[in-house]
Amino acid sequence: MGLSRLAALHGVATSYSPSPDVTVSVPDDTVIAVLAALGVDAGTPADVRKCLTAAESRSRLLPPTVVVWAGEPLPPALAGLPSGSTVTVEPEPSDLPGHPAGRPPAPLSMRSRAAAPAEPVASGEPAPEAVPAPEAAPAPGAAPAWWIPPPHGVHRIHVRTPDNRRATATLVAAPPRLPQPPEGTHGFLVQLYSLLSARSWGMGDLGDLADLAAWAGRSVGSGFVQVNPLHAAVPGKPTDPSPYRPSSRRFPDPVHLHVESIPEYGHVRDRAALDDLRQDAAALSEAVLNKGALIDRDAVWELKRQALELVAQVPLTPGRRADYCDFLAEQGQALEDHALWCALAEVHGPDWHTWPEALRAPRSPGTARARSELLDRVDFHCRLAWLTAGQLAAAQRAAEDAGMGVGIVHDLAVGVHPAGADTWSQQEAFAHGMSVGAPPDAFNARGQDWGLPPWRPDVLATTGYAAYRGLLRGLLAHAGALRIDHVMGLFRLWWVPEGRPPTDGTYVAYDAEAMLAVLVLEAHRAGTSVVGEDLGTVAPGVRETLARRGVLGTSVLWFERDWEGDGRPLAPEEWRRDCLATATTHDLPSTAARLTGDHVTLRHRLGLLTRSLEEELTADLTDTAEWLALLARLRMLPEGDGDEEAAVRAVHRFLRRTPARMTGVWLPDTVGDRRPQNLPGTWDQYPNWRLPIADPEGHPVTLEEITASPRLHALMEVLRPRKPHTAPPGERRP
């Protein structure tokens, strides 16, 4: 009983429900291991009693982080302060990104009381400054009269009670909802590496992304292009190709650079060396596009690294130098740490746990010496981050210039590699010896272990969510919107102790109010929307809370059924409005593969089926037939059965009929690609994350061929907005 109470105080679950009528107890040794990762020793009953007594005896005036939403009631931590308490809000510095320019804001002082009207501030304290009114007018009784709403931002709040108790905390003042995308916008979903143009160096790059956005906005009226995470990868031989297991989520990977677009490229003196590299890059692309080779990220990076080192020898012009210096100042310590990790990885390998002990901490004397010794390499990696940020900004500008209402939708992975730059530079923020995953469910009886160390919720709270804020600010700087992978992780994550199966994990809770407030605040400052990937098992109330704050969900056609009723496919008008509606994702079969059953035979060939091939094909055919029958009843399939291209168009015609704010088209679907980009449950059995977009026969197609494809243009016609009916003169509209 004591262990359960101690676990509850730290947000660690001792049981979970994989389905409404089933409750599973978490093993005690799992709970003890998770508590240890949170700095709580519960190894013996005596340790439990000691920690429980200490935890229950602590009395805090305020939690480490407090959230206030504009126009909404104050949280209990503030509303319940003793009458007569003095509250001072110290606004964040005005030079932070997103903060209104102007003179430094003065502290806001006020005194709490049980009832209005408000008392004056305490004698001898400065009078409160006038502050901007919140964007949404407070509802009647939303906040007590004594409360002076601070501007949106991350502030410090100081409290002194009449009996002279004191507390200081981080105060997150957030707008009530996220910005929303234009109604009824459509766009493409693409894994950027898979999109090769005639000029690519063996994989798709940011130049290709800008070109795709410019074409899609102008030619087919698209409002966005969503890409995979472009986070920095852990270097290796080979590099882990998954974009969802990066070294750092804070900084992008320079492998995505389009080298020829860098201004200094044209001034490299050793043209012969550049020409040789370009010829080698052309050979890489030729092998992928015409000889059946897989995308080789390591080979691409080796060529680009050599070219970028030549480019780095070109002096920056005064204007470019000033821009680079501004970038360094803005990114600060985070960039310096990331670049130093990259430099150290070149010398000692990509796993910092195996480095000399003196280098395993970012603030050690040994690391300080290495920083000085590797100054040139640190500067090189800083410059790569600057160049990549510049091309990310150029891609978003290209999308905006093409008339896109959203632009580039970037993707935030759920975590980072345990050996990468983020876990080295922010060691205190991660729960070492733990991995994020998923519990057993109806689709995977063994659960899942993703190999990603989770953030410690206690450290996030005590640091005012600084690491999370910096991460979001960096990602949103050049985004039109942000997709969050496994958005349920803002509420809780399944922690698996190292060396144990996923079935022996448990849920650890996060302060969802604070996580959402920071997300809404940073997205509001950047003017971006947010899409949450909320597929699979979702705890009660999570989708409703996300919707209240304006986070769009993700709805995939094949999963949209009346699960609480007859289980039949949902009619288009029954879909939710606040979502991105798609036919598939990078982890699912393409639409053509779904319609033909090719995905079942692929999984059978790889030994991934849990039933016989005949049983699986029968179940799949039944599922598909139900959807095709609905499309036929809705007169969305005038061509009838047997026409694959027509069926793909009908699926997207259906998506367009739903009230979804955004409709996403998987770019490989536009040319009939049968192959998934990622097949969950496989590692080396399938070439995950290494396939170029291909036609129905599996022959790779370039960006130029995709945009000229008659199949693509026929599909996109069904997504064009309908023109309003204009009645001829003398005719009344119905």
pLDDT digits (tens, 9 = 90+) for 598-624: 999 999 999 998 899 999 999 999 999
Q: Would you say residue 281 has pLDDT above 50?
A: yes
- Cis omega (within 30 of 0) for bond into 117: yes
**Residues whose CB is less than 8 angstroms from the CB of residue 151 and which lie 6 or more positions away in sequence, other chains included:** 91, 100, 105, 131, 132, 173
Give the pLDDT confidence score for residue 726 in this predicted structure: 42
CA angle, 413 as apex, 298 and 178 as ends, to 5°?
A: 140
Give the pLDDT confidence score for residue 145 in this predicted structure: 82
What is the arithmetic mean of pLDDT over 315-338?
98
Banded model confidence at residue 110, pLDDT cuts 50, 70, 90:
confident
Give the pLDDT confidence score for residue 369 in this predicted structure: 97
Q: Tokens at residue 734, please?
A: 């119905």
Q: Which amino acid, 417?
A: H
What is the arithmetic mean of pLDDT over 338-365?
97
pLDDT digits (tens, 9 = 90+) for 485-524: 999 999 999 999 999 999 999 999 999 999 999 999 999 9
Banded model confidence at residue 94, pLDDT cuts 50, 70, 90:
low
Banded model confidence at residue 146, pLDDT cuts 50, 70, 90:
confident
Contact (CB, 8 A) for 228 and 411: yes
Banded model confidence at residue 105, pLDDT cuts 50, 70, 90:
low
Q: Would you say residue 353 has pLDDT above 70?
A: yes
Give the pLDDT confidence score for residue 59 in this predicted structure: 74
Average pLDDT for the chain: 91
Considering only residues 468 and 141, tell me which one the structure prediction assigns the higher pLDDT. 468
Helix (H, G, I), strand (E, B) or coil at 18: strand
Of 112-126, 188-202, 313-327, give the lowest mean pLDDT range.
Answer: 112-126
The distance of Cα 126 from the centroid of its chain, to the nearest Å, equals 43
**Residue 236 carries which DSSP code?**
-
What is this structure's pTM? 0.93
Give the pLDDT confidence score for residue 138 in this predicted structure: 42
Q: Tokens at residue 354, please?
A: 């195996």
Q: Would you say residue 339 has pLDDT above 90?
A: yes
pLDDT digits (tens, 9 = 90+) for 621-646: 999 999 999 999 999 999 888 899 99
Contact (CB, 8 A) for 259 and 268: no
Banded model confidence at residue 536, pLDDT cuts 50, 70, 90:
confident
Q: Which amino acid, 68?
A: V
Give the pLDDT confidence score for residue 136 in this predicted structure: 42
What is the arithmetic mean of pLDDT over 23-48?
95
Q: Would you say residue 128 has pLDDT above 70?
A: no
Give the pLDDT confidence score for residue 256 in this predicted structure: 98
The Cβ of residue 659 has, within 10 Å, a number of other Cβ atoms equal to 15
Give the pLDDT confidence score for residue 722 in this predicted structure: 52
What is the arithmetic mean of pLDDT over 107-133?
49
Contact (CB, 8 A) for 427 and 206: no
Q: Would you say residue 95 has pLDDT above 70?
A: no
Helix (H) or strand (E) holding 497: strand 492-497
Banded model confidence at residue 108, pLDDT cuts 50, 70, 90:
confident
Instruction: Report the percent of the chain where pLDDT is more than 70.
Output: 92
Instruction: Report the percent of the chain where pLDDT is more than 90.
Output: 83
Of 49-53, 228-232, 348-352, 544-548, give the lowest mean pLDDT range.
Answer: 49-53
CA–CA distance, 675 with 662 (Å, rounded to integer): 25
The distance of Cα 218 from the centroid of its chain, to the nearest Å, equals 27
Considering only residues 689 and 137, tell me which one the structure prediction assigns the higher pLDDT. 689
Give the pLDDT confidence score for residue 127 in this predicted structure: 37
**Residues whose CB is less than 8 angstroms from the CB of residue 107 and which lie 6 or more positions away in sequence, other chains included:** 88, 89, 90, 91, 126, 129
**Residues whose CB is less than 8 angstroms from the CB of residue 490 and which lie 6 or more positions away in sequence, other chains included:** 484, 510, 512, 515, 516, 519
pLDDT digits (tens, 9 = 90+) for 297-320: 999 999 999 999 999 999 999 999
CA angle, 291 as apex, 289 and 297 as ends, to 5°?
A: 60
Give the pLDDT confidence score for residue 445 in this predicted structure: 73
Phi and psi, residue 155, nearest 5°: -110, 180
